[in-house]
Structure 1
Amino acid sequence: MLDDFYTDDIKAIDARFEAQKIAFAPIVFQAAKCMIDFNILNIIENSGEDGITEEDILKNTSLSPYALSVLLELSLGLCLIKIVKNSNPYKYVLGKIGFFLINDNLTRVNINFVNDICYNGMFYLKDSLINSKPEGLKVFGDYETIYKGLSSIPEKSRKSWIDFDNYYSDNCYHSSLPIIFEKKRKNIMDIGTNTAKFSISALKYDNDVKCSLIDLDGQIELAKKNIEDNHFSDRVEYFPMNILYNDSKLPDNCDVVWMSQFLDCFSIEQIKFIMRKVKSVSDKDTDIFILEPLWDKQQHLSAAFSIQATSLYFTAIANGSSKMYPYKLLKDTIEEEGFKLVNEYHRIGNTYHSLLNFKILV
């Protein structure tokens, strides 16, 4: 996949067209979102190969003829839809790009995340880059990071954030658990537990294992509710903390440390600080498992692009200082703190993630 970043083979005329898509990107995004929200793409898809006229689309929407016309015309330019050859009046059919917009879960999750979490705040990206602060977070309130405000932001936005977060990790758990439980485990420390989805999966997988949940107060409350709803309270301990505080202490009775999409929430120096804390409660038998989508370990350019773009969400919205890391940078950063990578599993479970297994150097 990296070979694609070494070449620039696109024809000049095509490159110019791609540049126009960037120039009009906010308009393009909102138009595509309207084609979805007004159900226009679904109406066209349901018309089948014969297509549907603008007049018949109008009968199934609340839009004016003018409103529908401007959306259809830009959608043709974006290849979301196509015109049936020799149709008079024009009949529209769904294009391949339009198909993915309404039928592909990856695209759906990304669109909702960008619309509900990123769109307004990204106007402040330039300020965020200059100030090393998430200046775009102000659209939600006065928070230091999005994690501290996550339990307070509007429900629709919070759902899009959680759907985005879960989409990129949930499918990895099924493939990760057999690796983790290749040997008997007693207690898993889930750092950055979020909604406790991984811990619940581990508790279901092994009837004897216990879990120690580490996260901010608000996230621990969400996790606790999910644990109680699944009747696992007797095998779980909660440790609400900000792991970046010097006086926060991790439990020292765990034989597995699990971090899923956690380290990408921190800068390089913060990652080193966290790993030093992990090292202080680990021994030679402790397995540290880190699950991350590494953009340079992807099979397809679309996946790499999505991960690269997500870095700018961290810049402008989440915290102002972290990113989605490439493999070598993350590996080297962790190993500099006295760890050794002993196993690695890329695109685990046919997903976007790499599972990295570290142990401390002895």
Structure 2
Amino acid sequence: MIRLTDSMSSHCYVLHKVNGTAMLDNINKIVLKNLFPRKKLSAYDAISEAQKIAYAPLIFQAVRTMRDLGILAQLEKAKDNGVTPGGIADALDISLYGVETLLESGLSCGVVEMADDGDSFVLSKVGYFLLHDPMTRINMDYNHYICYLGMYNLDEAIKTQKPAGLRVFGKKWATLYQALPHLPDTIKNSWYAFDHFYSDSAYPDVLPIIFKNQPGTMLDIGANVGKFSILAAQYDQNIQITMVDLHDQLQNAIKNVNDEALDQRIHSLMLDLLDEKSTFPKEMDVYWLSQLLSCFGKDEIISILMRIVDVMGENSTVYILETCWDRQQHESAAYSLINTSLYFTAMASGNSKMYHSKDLIACCETAGLRLINIFDHLGICHTLFECKKNNS
């Protein structure tokens, strides 16, 4: 049977085996819904949607420019009275032609609306959120600074399973993760803002789950800048943590740990996870993988997990935190996650994505892990998979 319980405003699904098989099909039927049902559209509506897709790259840049040049802020300042293109042009010292062109584009996509006088423009509710919603701002910056130029090479990336768009940043890096510490601050900061915005929202929900059995040691695999390791060490004064990442990336993490005076309890280990000969420390209480597996292809995921299984002790637990598009509550969340996969294809690795939960579960089982718990709706959009070594 399957027992469903609530956990800290998230949902925890405890899997029980029936005849030796975890009832994953049943749990998906209970929990998940069809986020993208088939729609019946008229031919007119369908071709209208097609035109929106065809012009989406131009619309994106027009709206971002309106935001960054201050046009959206001028519209908000004018409130319901609206403001004319000339008024905006004078206030911002931008050509009337440029303001008119951008406002008309914004009108076509619902970011601005015409005022009652027929000459002025007002900010729509969509425009308000583009201006003020932190998630929307971070997503837009991320897609502009990290993804936009490289997406021109998406077709090559699809064919070769290599991040062909990464070359727009200059040096021919194998993956974005190798390039990240060396990128210009504007680009690097937009990546970190995107990554941390989502993971940070889940950590307060995750920490009580991980520490419920009072682990003494933790391996933070793919530690990035060390943020979770620091939070975990502050949450539990007895935990000993080892951060694992590439050499250049670890330098930022080590600095951050030292800044928090936690270097006596947080240590570092340089490791290339793609090196199949690399091994992890043995019998750690917790093996922690946060937003890591989405950075790798399925074969690489299985290889990483198998190497973890090889060193797990009797009481070791693997926790995998990911954003699975199929486990979202709303279509907009699934939409954003699915299309973030294109970043992984063109820019990051060439062979990874935001996975469907069934794919991750299958990788875990192939590697020799047994799924114990699934915690959904952590933070903004995360799912936590709790696994043990499968000794059967």
Do the structures match in fold with TM over 0.5? yes
Separation (CA, whole Å) in 2 of partners of 1:345 and 1:4: 19
Equivalent residue pairs, number: 359
Compare 272-281 and 46-55 and name the one that shifted more.
Answer: 46-55
Aligned counterpart in structure 1 of residue 351 of structure 2, from 307, 315, 321: 321
Aligned counterpart in structure 2 of residue 94 of structure 1, from 116, 123, 136: 123
Shift, 1:107, TM fit: 1.0
Aligned counterpart in structure 1 of residue 113 of structure 2, from 58, 64, 82: 82
Check the 8 A contact 1:347/1:354 in 2, yes or no: yes
Aligned counterpart in structure 2 of residue 113 of structure 1, from 138, 142, 146: 142
Separation (CA, whole Å) in 2 of partners of 1:361 and 1:307: 30
Deviation string, structure 1 residues 248-276 (Cα, Å, up to 9, x no partner):
22111410011000000011100110011
Aligned counterpart in structure 1 of residue 270 of structure 2, from 222, 240, 243: 240
Aligned position for 1:353: 382
Aligned position for 2:301: 271
**1:204 paired to 2:257:** no
Shift, 1:2, TM fit: 4.2
Check the 8 A contact 2:218/2:239 in 1, yes or no: yes
Cα RMSD over matched residues? Answer: 1.2
Aligned counterpart in structure 2 of residue 186 of structure 1, from 196, 209, 216: 216
Q: 1:10 to 1:4 in 2, by over 3 A?
A: farther
Structure 2: stretches of 5+ with no match in the other structure: 1-31
Q: Counterpart of 2:174 in 1: which secondary structure? A: coil
Deviation string, structure 1 residues 144-183 (Cα, Å, up to 9, x no partner):
0001111111110000011111111111100100111111
Separation (CA, whole Å) in 1 of partners of 2:128 and 2:75: 10
Compare 247-256 and 277-286 and name the one that shifted more.
Answer: 247-256
**1:138 paired to 2:167:** yes
**Runs ≥4 in structure 1, deviation > 4 angstroms?**
none
Shift, 1:97, TM fit: 1.5
Separation (CA, whole Å) in 2 of partners of 1:334 and 1:189: 18
Deviation string, structure 1 residues 107-130 (Cα, Å, up to 9, x no partner):
111110111011010000001111
Aligned position for 1:39: 70
Greater RCO, 1 or 2 (C-alpha within 8 Å, sep 6+): 2
Shift, 1:103, TM fit: 1.2
Aligned position for 1:227: 257
**What is the one-letter code of the residue matched to 1:192?**
G
Check the 8 A contact 1:190/1:199 in 2, yes or no: yes
Aligned position for 1:214: 244
Check the 8 A contact 1:284/1:361 in 2, yes or no: no
Aligned counterpart in structure 2 of residue 52 of structure 1, from 77, 83, 89: 83
Structure 1: stretches of 5+ with no match in the other structure: none
Aligned position for 2:333: 303
Q: Counterpart of 1:242 in 2: which secondary structure? A: coil
Aligned position for 2:205: 175
**What is the one-letter code of the residue matched to 2:219?**
M
Q: Counterpart of 2:153 in 1: which secondary structure? A: helix
Shift, 1:21, TM fit: 1.6
Q: 1:179 to 1:309 in 2, by over 3 A?
A: same
Q: Counterpart of 1:79 in 2: which secondary structure? A: coil
Sequence identity of aligned pairs in percent? 38
Separation (CA, whole Å) in 1 of partners of 2:144 and 2:390: 44
Deviation string, structure 1 residues 258-305 (Cα, Å, up to 9, x no partner):
100000001110011001111011123111100000000111111101
**What is the one-letter code of the residue matched to 1:62?**
D
Separation (CA, whole Å) in 2 of partners of 1:12 and 1:72: 29
